[in-house]
């Protein structure tokens, strides 16, 4: 529990939420300003600010819970699919600095788009191998 963290307070029950799922490592609850009906947030109970701060075990537990919740959210709202994703860091739109996976159910004709509608910058694609090398070098 990190002081002054909104989601730590939700997980501990200090701030009320609409619980969807809970296990030893994960808590999932409805987003208070949903992008579509059933929009759910899946959070690790341990406080990590960003996804890249997490360790392998906690990531595995978080994403297995996210998978279960996604299946349930789609079933409950007869959704044909969903967007499942993390805003990782303030620059990427993360407003609450406690990791959470957004599960947003989608239906045909809802007007929404896919993940590349979040950002699109023109980049040089003539040497993708150079780009890949840059990333591999720091892995």
Interface positions with ligand 5GP (CB under 6 A): 6, 17, 29-33, 41, 87, 93-96
Question: Which residue shows structure tokens 């967007």?
Answer: 83
The reply to whether 100 belongs to the active site is yes
Q: Does 98 bind Zn ion (CB under 5 A)?
A: yes
Q: Which of 17, 21, 30, 47 touches Zn ion by CB under 5 A?
A: 47
If DSSP codes are grouped into helix, strand and coil, which group holds residue 29? strand
7-43 as b/e: b if 16+ CB within 10 A: bbbbbeeeeebeebbeeebbbbbbbeeeebebbbbbb
Q: Which is nearer to ligand 5GP, 36 or 94 (CB)?
A: 94
14 versus 64: smaller Cβ distance to ligand 5GP: 14
Residues with catalytic function: 100
């Amino acid at each position: 529990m990190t002081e002054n963290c909104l989601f730590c307070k939700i997980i501990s029950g200090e701030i009320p939420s609409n619980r969807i799922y809970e296990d030893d490592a994960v808590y999932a609850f409805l987003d208070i300003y949903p992008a579509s009906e059933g929009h759910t947030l899946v959070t690790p109970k341990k406080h990590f600010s960003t996804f890249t701060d997490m360790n392998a075990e906690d990531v595995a537990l978080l994403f297995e819970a996210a998978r279960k919740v996604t299946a349930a959210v789609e079933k409950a709202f007869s959704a044909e699919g969903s967007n499942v994703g993390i805003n990782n860091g303030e620059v990427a739109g993360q407003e609450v600095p406690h990791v959470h996976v957004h599960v947003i159910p989608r239906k045909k004709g809802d007007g929404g788009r896919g993940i590349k509608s979040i950002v699109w910058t023109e980049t040089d694609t003539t040497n993708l191998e150079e780009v890949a090398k840059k990333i591999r070098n720091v892995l």
